[in-house]
């Protein structure tokens, strides 16, 4: 794995932290490879999250528990090779920060060496040792509270979190603890807007919401959801800005039809040898008469 050279003018984690309360919402989107990173950066986002949602969205798994640190480094590296201006945040996958602080720091470092400028992990006070160990290795950490998909089995499914007072208080206290530990931002996923608002008003670092309403310091969506490339499940918080799956399917169907009907490739889409070479080759294969019938007459 080769280290990526920081791009001049690249967004940094401290720059994101400094955006708290500046009045302009922070924009984060997921990307998992070089083409989607170029699209994200071209769209002017502040942060590209190489999320472990790559498991469901790209790799075809049912949940995010299937991806490893090596998988994540593979995708972080692909995003980094697009040299985006946006800050690249690499998602630490399940079990990469749960076993020991030594393993945690090594796994975070693997994502940084692949090109991430920060890492994200899920959980609150339970994960403070992991957060502190990574920060101690000089790697910025983004927190993630509310619906934490790596806890899908413990939570009993993918559902909105923090709906009652006690659960809401736990989220606020966890957010305070993450911010005090030094996280530069905290993702709030699938929590009621009142809870997100309280967290946003309470902690001194930006909150970035997904299914958390408008009272956050920023928003994040999964790239494939907003582009309409992933259409199997549409959570209510997703806004589709394009219908690329439909467009792409229609394009492939047109291509298939063109091939089957002989409209592709055309002469312009074909490499031609010099006439003398073609004639000799045609004589050799016996196609001379056939070509004379099918090639358009010279102008
Ligand atoms: O992996 C991911 O895409 C995420 C976002 C939903 C925040 O963690």
Taken in order of first residue, the domains within the chain and their CATH numbers are 13-248 (3.20.20.60)
Per-residue pLDDT tens listing for the chain (299 residues): 344 444 559 999 999 999 999 999 999 999 999 999 999 999 999 999 999 999 999 999 999 999 999 999 999 999 999 999 999 999 999 999 999 999 999 999 999 999 999 999 999 999 999 999 999 999 999 999 999 999 999 999 999 999 999 999 999 999 999 999 999 999 999 999 999 999 999 999 999 999 999 999 999 999 999 999 988 878 999 999 999 999 999 999 999 999 999 999 999 999 999 999 999 988 777 655 555 445 554 43
Residue 186 CA to residue 173 CA, distance in Å, equals: 13
Choosing from 122, 180, 189, 279, the catalytic residue is 189
pLDDT of residue 51: 98
Please report how the helices 128-136 and 165-181 are oriented relative to each other, as an axis angle in degrees rounded to 10: 20
Residue 137 CA to residue 272 CA, distance in Å, equals: 59
pLDDT of residue 234: 82
Of the residues 187, 188, 191, 221, which should be mutated to test ligand 1's pocket, given the most ligand atoms within 8 Å of the CB? 187
pLDDT of residue 183: 99
The first and second tokens of residue 254, run together, are 């047109």
Which residues, listed in sequence order, are joined to residue 3 by a DSSP beta bridge? none
Radius of gyration over every alpha carbon of the chain, rounded to an integer in angstroms: 25
- Decide: helix, strand or coil at residue 231: coil
Residue 151 CA to residue 173 CA, distance in Å, equals: 19
For 224, counting Cβ atoms within 10 Å of its Cβ (0-12 exposed, 13-18 middle, 19+ buried), the class is buried
The first and second tokens of residue 38, run together, are 């170029």
Of the residues 28, 29, 30, which should be mutated to test ligand 1's pocket, given the most ligand atoms within 8 Å of the CB? 30
189 is catalytic: yes
pLDDT of residue 200: 98
pLDDT of residue 294: 53
| Short-list 137, 140, 138, 113, CA closest to 3 | 113
At 202, phi and psi to the nearest 5? -95, -40
Determine whether the shortest distance from the Cβ of 230 to ligand 1 is under 6 A: no
For 261, counting Cβ atoms within 10 Å of its Cβ (0-12 exposed, 13-18 middle, 19+ buried), the class is exposed
DSSP 298: P
Which residues, listed in sequence order, are joined to residue 27 by a DSSP beta bridge? 219
| Short-list 75, 72, 82, 76, CA closest to 43 | 82
List of E strands, 138-210: 141-146, 185-189, 207-210
Residue for token pair 């920081």: 6
pLDDT of residue 233: 78
Residue 84 CA to residue 45 CA, distance in Å, equals: 10
pLDDT of residue 93: 98
pLDDT of residue 2: 41
């Amino acid at each position: 794995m080769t280290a990526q050279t920081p791009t001049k003018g690249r967004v940094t984690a401290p720059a994101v932290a400094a955006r708290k309360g500046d009045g302009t919402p922070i924009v984060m989107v997921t990307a998992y490879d070089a083409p989607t990173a170029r699209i994200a950066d071209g769209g002017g986002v502040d942060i590209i999250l190489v999320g472990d949602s790559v498991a469901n969205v790209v790799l075809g798994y049912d949940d995010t528990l299937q991806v490893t640190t090596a998988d994540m480094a593979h995708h972080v590296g692909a995003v980094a090779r697009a040299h985006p201006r946006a800050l690249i945040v690499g998602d630490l996958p399940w079990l990469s920060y749960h076993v020991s602080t030594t393993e945690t720091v090594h796994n975070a470092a693997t994502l940084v060496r692949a090109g991430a400028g920060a890492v994200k992990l899920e959980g609150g006070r339970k994960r403070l040792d992991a957060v502190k160990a990574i920060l101690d290795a000089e790697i910025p950490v983004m927190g993630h509270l509310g619906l934490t998909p790596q806890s899908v089995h413990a939570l009993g499914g993918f559902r909105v979190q923090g709906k009652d007072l006690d659960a809401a208080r736990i989220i606020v206290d966890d957010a305070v603890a993450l911010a005090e530990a030094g996280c530069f931002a905290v993702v709030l996923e699938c929590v009621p807007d009142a809870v997100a608002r309280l967290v946003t008003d309470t902690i001194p670092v930006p909150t970035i919401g997904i299914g958390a309403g408008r009272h956050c310091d920023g928003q994040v969506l999964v790239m494939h959801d907003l582009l309409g490339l992933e259409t199997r499940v549409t959570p209510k918080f997703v806004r589709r800005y394009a219908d690329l799956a439909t467009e792409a399917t229609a394009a492939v169907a047109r291509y298939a039809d063109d091939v089957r009907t002989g409209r592709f490739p055309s002469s312009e889409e074909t490499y031609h040898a010099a006439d003398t070479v073609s004639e000799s080759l045609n004589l050799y294969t016996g196609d001379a008469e056939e070509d004379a019938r099918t090639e358009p007459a010279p102008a």
